[in-house]
Amino acid sequence: MLAIDLLSWFCLISGGLLGTIGAIGMHRFPDFYTRQHAAGVTDVLSAFLILLGLGLQAGLTLAAFKLLLIFMFLYFTSPGASHAVANAAMHAGLKPMADKQD
């Protein structure tokens, strides 16, 4: 029981730190596309770690199954949503920072 609690807290803290690192990246990067990349890369792994930690705390219950369903939804929709937002920005005329120098 102690090992599961420690592993759960490790996952929760790691997920929180990864989410914080992604937020810092969104704040520090210079343009929309690099900020979008920072958010897109860290959100699924951060959510996975947090949901895994919560699932370990819940044990083999209906709550853990619901957490798994939430993760599967995020896993399949988050990359598509990130791509759709970046594609919409490109079609709206927002150029990446490297292209602005030309």
pLDDT, tens only, 65-88? 999 999 999 999 998 999 999 999
* 67 neighbors 55 (Cβ within 8 angstroms): yes
Q: Where are the domains of the chain?
A: 2-95
Buried b (16+ CB within 10 A) or exposed e, 10-47: ebbebbeebbeebeebeeebeebbbbbbbbbbbbbebb
pLDDT, position 3: 93
d(CA 7, CA 27) in angstroms, rounded, equals: 30
pLDDT of residue 84: 94
Q: How far apart are CA 84 and CA 20, in angstroms?
A: 24
Q: What is the pLDDT of residue 6?
A: 95
Question: In this prediction, what percent of the chain has a pLDDT beyond 70?
Answer: 96
